[in-house]
């Protein structure tokens, strides 16, 4: 097995890649996506950032605040899309981007903006109250990590084998392995 990590989406045909792990909604044209793990991201910020502003109550309200973006600038766009905010305000997708969850959490805690942060990683800062939830909306359950490969290859035994192996790695992971047809 050869494992390559990259933030670039795999081009299965051109790169000679059999499978990839992607984060998102599990909808990639011509690809089969098997859900392997859910990640609960929550919008967090410092109390100071919200001081003197109306408390956000709807997803689109967050677009009025400075948003801290992931390195690919995708998480907020996907979050707004999944929560029915159309069109996504362009100004919501302009701002500092960071390629590390802990850096996003630190930037949010220091008042630089609202971050979509892993609930597990943000938990200590939430407990210390250096972070608060910006709004009581969770990352929709559809967002997850997916084992992705060309749908035309789904019948091959090696894909069944890797799905089986992933489902046996932990009991919670086994409950999460689901298949989404090509879309």
In angstroms, the CA 143 to CA 122 distance is 18
In angstroms, the CA 170 to CA 47 distance is 37
Burial of 134 (C-beta count, 10 Å sphere; 0-12/13-18/19+): buried
* 52 and 73 part of one domain: yes
* 51 and 75 part of one domain: yes
Domain enclosing residue 81, as ranges:
41-133
The conformational region for residue 30 under phi > 0 = left, psi -120 to 50 = alpha, else beta, is: left
DSSP assignment, residue 86?
-
**% of the chain surpassing 90 pLDDT:** 31
Question: What's the pLDDT tens digit per position in 84-127?
Answer: 888 877 777 878 888 888 999 999 999 999 999 888 789 999 99
* 34 and 98 part of one domain: no
Phi, psi of 27 (to 5 degrees): -120, 95
In the chain, the largest separation of any two C-alpha atoms, in whole Å, equals: 59
Q: Is residue 8 part of a domain?
A: no
Whether the link from the prior residue into 124 is cis, omega within 30° of 0, is no
Q: Is residue 87 part of a domain?
A: yes
* 118 and 171 part of one domain: no
Q: Is residue 68 part of a domain?
A: yes
* 35 and 49 part of one domain: no
Question: In this structure, are residues 50 and 132 in contact, taking their beta carbons and an 8 Å threshold?
Answer: yes
Q: Is residue 11 part of a domain?
A: no
Does residue 41 carry a pLDDT above 70?
yes
- Give the model's pLDDT for residue 45: 96
For residues 136-154, average pLDDT: 82
Q: Which position has the higher pLDDT, 72 or 70?
A: 70
* 55 and 128 part of one domain: yes
Tally of domains in the chain: 2
Tell me the whole-structure pTM to 2 decimals: 0.64
* 61 and 30 part of one domain: no
Question: In this structure, are residues 25 and 174 in contact, taking their beta carbons and an 8 Å threshold?
Answer: no
Phi, psi of 71 (to 5 degrees): -55, -35
């Amino acid at each position: 097995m050869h494992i390559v990590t990259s933030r670039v989406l795999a081009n299965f045909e051109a790169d000679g890649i059999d499978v990839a792990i992607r984060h998102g909604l599990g909808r990639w044209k011509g690809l089969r996506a098997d859900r392997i793990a859910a990640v609960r991201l929550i919008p967090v910020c410092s109390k100071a950032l919200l001081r003197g502003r109306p408390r956000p109550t709807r997803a689109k309200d967050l677009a009025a605040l400075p948003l801290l973006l992931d390195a690919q600038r995708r998480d907020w766009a996907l979050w707004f899309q999944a929560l029915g905010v159309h069109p996504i305000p362009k100004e919501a997708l302009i701002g500092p981007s960071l390629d590390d969850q802990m850096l996003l959490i630190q930037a949010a805690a220091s008042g630089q903006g609202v971050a979509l942060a892993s609930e597990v990683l943000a938990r200590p800062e939430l407990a210390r109250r250096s972070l608060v939830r910006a709004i009581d909306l969770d990352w929709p359950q559809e967002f997850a990590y997916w084992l992705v490969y060309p749908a035309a290859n789904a019948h091959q035994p090696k894909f069944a084998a890797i799905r089986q192996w992933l489902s046996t790695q932990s009991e919670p992971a086994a409950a999460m392995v689901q298949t989404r047809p090509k879309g």
